[in-house]
A and B are shown apart, each in its own frame.
Chain A
Amino acid sequence: MTTSVHRMLDLEGIARIRADFPILNRVMRGGCQLAYLDSGATSQRPVQVLDAERDFLVKSNGAVHRGAHQLMEESTDAYEQGRADVAAFVGADADELVFTKNATEAINLVSYAIGDDRFDRAVGPGDVIVTTELEHHANLIPWQELCRRTGAELRWYGVTDDGRIDLDSLELDERVRLVAFSHHSNVTGAVAPVAELVLRARAVGALTLLDACQSVPHQPVDFHGLDVDFAAFSGHKMLGPTGIGALYGRAELLSALPPFLTGGSMIETVTMEATTYAPAPQRFEAGTPMTSQVVGLGAAARYLQDVGMTAVEEHETELVAAALAGLSGIDGVRIIGPLSTENRGSPVSFVVEGVHAHDVGQVLDDDGVAVRVGHHCAWPLHRRFGIAATARASFAVYNTLDEVDRLVSGVRRAVDFFG
Chain B
Amino acid sequence: MRLEQIYQEVILDHYKRPHHRGLREPYGAEVHHVNPTCGDEVTLRVALSEDGETVTDISYDGQGCSISQAATSVLTDQVIGQSVGDALKTVAAFSEMVSSRGRIEGDEDVIGDGIAFAGVSKYPARVRCALLGWTAFKAALAEAHSDGREEN
Contact = CB atoms under 8 A, between A and B. Distances in A.
B127 to A, nearest CB: 12
B126 interface: yes
B7 A417 contact: yes
Interface string A355-374: 01111001100100000011
Contacts of A357: 38, 65
B3 A363 contact: yes
Nearest to B122: A29
A417 B3 contact: yes
Given A358-B129, A362-B6, A366-B3, A379 B39 contact: yes
Interface string B120-135: 0001001001000000
A374 B38 contact: yes
A386 to B, nearest CB: 11
Interface in B33-79: 37-41, 63-67
B2 A366 contact: yes
A164 interface: no
A356 B16 CA distance: 12
B36 to A, nearest CB: 9
Nearest to B40: A388
A388 B3 contact: no
Contact of B65 (A356, A379, A382, A417): A356
A30 interface: yes
A374 B64 contact: no
A382 B38 CA distance: 11
Most buried by B among A356, A374, A389, A418: A356
B64 A382 contact: no
B98 to A, nearest CB: 15
Interface residues of A, number: 18
B38 A359 contact: no
Contacts of B65: 356-359
A29 B2 contact: yes
A344 interface: no
A184 interface: no
A134 to B, nearest CB: 16
A113 B126 CA distance: 40
Contact of A418 (B2, B6, B39, B66): B66
Interface in B3-53: 3, 6-7, 12, 37-41
Interface string B75-111: 0000000000000000000000000000000000000
A375 interface: yes
A418 B9 CA distance: 11
Contacts of B39: 374-375, 379, 382, 388-389
B2 A388 contact: no
B6 A388 contact: no
B2 A30 contact: yes
A375 B38 CA distance: 6
A363 B41 CA distance: 22
Interface string A389-419: 1000000000000000000000000000110
B37 to A, nearest CB: 6
A418 to B, nearest CB: 7
Contact of B66 (A356, A366, A379, A388): A356
Given A358-B67, A363-B3, A366-B3, A388 B38 contact: yes
A341 B117 CA distance: 41
> Which of A362, A373, A375, A418 has the most CB atoms of chain B within a 10 A radius of its CB?
A362
A41 B66 CA distance: 24
A358 B64 CA distance: 8
Nearest to B123: A362
Contacts of B12: 418
Nearest to B41: A388
Contacts of A374: 37-39
B55 to A, nearest CB: 28
Interface of B: 1-3, 6-7, 12, 37-41, 63-67, 123, 126, 129
22 contacts: A30-B2, A356-B65, A356-B66, A357-B38, A357-B65, A358-B66, A358-B67, A359-B65, A362-B7, A362-B126, A363-B3, A373-B38, A374-B37, A375-B38, A379-B39, A382-B39, A388-B38, A388-B63, A389-B38, A417-B3, A417-B7, A418-B12
Query: Shortest 9 CB-CB distances between A and B: which pairs?
Result: A358-B65, A356-B65, A388-B39, A374-B38, A375-B39, A366-B3, A389-B38, A359-B66, A359-B65
Given A357-B38, A357-B65, A363-B3, 6 more contacts: A30-B2, A358-B40, A358-B66, A374-B38, A379-B39, A389-B39
